Amino acid sequence: MTPDEFRQNGYALIDWISNYIEGIEQHHVSNPALQPGDVRAMLPAHPPVAGEPFSAVLSDLDTVVVPGLTHWQHPSFFAYFPGNSSYPAILGELASAGLGVQGMSWVTSPACTEVETLMLDWMQELLGLPERFRSDSATGGGVIHGSASEATLAAILAARWRVTGGEVNLHGDTTKLVAYTTSQTHSSIEKGLRIAGIGSDRMRIVDHDEAYAMRSDELDRMVREDRRVGLIPFFVCSSRGTTSSTAFDPTREMAAVCRRENLWLHVDAAMSGIAALVPEFRWVNDGLEFADSYCTNPHKWMGVTFDCDLFWTADRAALIGALSILPEYLRSKALESGAAIDYRDWQIPLGRRFRALKLWFTLRCDGVAPVQAMIREHVRLTQLLADWVAADDRFEIVAPHPLNLLCLALRSANAATDELIDAANRTGEVLFTRTVLDGRVCLRFSIGARLTAQRHVAAGWQLLQTLA
């Protein structure tokens, strides 16, 4: 592709993206008829020998790719949690690709590091997070990870380093370490623990209450018991907004146990943490002032295109202790001066993209007002939906719904709720996810797509009422 062709094709692609987003309602949310292998079968088995015109590529986007998508930007996407993509964030991604820098160290692209550091400090301010997470605080700082799963793994590794006084880097002995969470915690916690050499049998499942939140008295009891038998409690994950039902663990009470026992407290607010952009939802931050680490995902509710997880720690020395390794070819005077951050020491991989641009573009071009309005509207719609569901006695609301997720079930039987979810998803007009809460099959009605309005929620609910 020549520079001139790049320019022309670039305009065509931006047009194509705008048309896709503006016309998204002409598509079903998903294509339930699609079978594994169908998309690949529409494409040539072998790579092209000669280049093709860009128009042929765009045409395949229309005829092969788009029909093979689940449309996450669709206003009737009620599955999982949202994955919103705002216009400035899309342009930020493009700018990042265009600059093509690799920001593993400050010296490999100073602006890549410093814009990122500033974005974490801006977000600390916008979300009302504790000062101890700021990069200019005595011991804290923040970094952008690809996903909450990576952030959690980084937190576990920092905790493992701290509890062993750094020994783990030499001997790798993790056999006595024990972690604590609930059955409602995201699966990435267990995955992270396994990767860190803490097998599932040393991940304690602490009981939860009727609101699916951890019982801190049980946490206390289990930690004491593990100590008594010679094990080493080291890590507690507190979820603020669980994936199944947006349950909020009592972080403040859990923190009291963690402080007494010197356990690393990681707070996972991948979805719900972004609600703190809205002053009346700042309660989601309760107890964060005691956390050793925290993460939330602008790539879910805030519109900063996947992948963008914000991870803060109040103990950067432990994080860097766990993840820093310095071959000769990565030494720099900037790092040795102590004045520069090398973000490769804050994450698992070495290389890293200029992800901060999409956050910077979003904050500069849109500000926070549109996101605040969207969050307020999604919460309002969820409470309205809850009223509708409560008025239909075939249905039951299964969990508290403080923000934008409603878990509902048919009263009759689990099998009926399962059949309802399948029947609704088979229409392709909506997409829901199933979960199980204490043995109860639930339909998760997750309201978080940027374009979702009341009419979409009403249509989704009517469909469920008709199919039930």
Ligand X SMILES: Cc1ncc(COP(=O)(O)O)c(C=O)c1O
CB 294 within 8 A of CB 238: no
- Residue the block writes with tokens 């998309």: 39
CB 247 within 8 A of CB 271: no
Neighbour tally for 324: CB within 10 Å: 13
Radius of gyration of the chain (CA): 23
Closest contact distance (angstroms) between CB of 225 and ligand X is: 27
SS3 34: coil
Closest contact distance (angstroms) between CB of 55 and ligand X is: 35
Cβ closest to ligand X, residue 247 vs residue 463: 247
Question: In sequence order, what DSSP letters do the residues of 114-129 get, joined into one string?
Answer: HHHHHHHHHHHHHHT-
Strand runs (DSSP E) across 88-176, as ranges? 141-145
d(CA 307, CA 144): 9
Cβ closest to ligand X, residue 123 vs residue 168: 123
CA distances, 65 to each of 18, 22, 58 (Å): 16, 17, 10
Closest contact distance (angstroms) between CB of 377 and ligand X is: 21
Residue nearest to ligand X (CB): 147
Cβ closest to ligand X, residue 145 vs residue 204: 145
Core vs surface per residue 18-47: b (16+ CB within 10 A) or e? eebbeebeebbbbbeeeeeeeeeeeeeeee
Helix axes 356-366, 87-99, angle to 10 degrees: 140
- Residue the block writes with tokens 């969470």: 181
Closest contact distance (angstroms) between CB of 426 and ligand X is: 24
d(CA 209, CA 24): 41
Closest contact distance (angstroms) between CB of 61 and ligand X is: 25
Residues of this chain that bind ligand X (CB under 6 A)? 81, 147-149, 186, 188, 239, 241-243, 268, 270-271, 297, 309
User: What burial class does residue 114 get, using C-beta atoms within 10 Å of its C-beta: 0-12 exposed, 13-18 middle, 19+ buried?
Assistant: middle
Torsion angles phi and psi, residue 235, rounded to 5: -145, 135
Cβ closest to ligand X, residue 269 vs residue 322: 269
Closest contact distance (angstroms) between CB of 188 and ligand X is: 5
Cβ closest to ligand X, residue 117 vs residue 239: 239
Closest contact distance (angstroms) between CB of 268 and ligand X is: 5
d(CA 13, CA 96): 16
Closest contact distance (angstroms) between CB of 445 and ligand X is: 15
Cβ closest to ligand X, residue 54 vs residue 80: 80
Cβ closest to ligand X, residue 164 vs residue 296: 296
Cβ closest to ligand X, residue 59 vs residue 200: 200
Closest contact distance (angstroms) between CB of 246 and ligand X is: 9
Cβ closest to ligand X, residue 444 vs residue 456: 444
d(CA 241, CA 294): 13
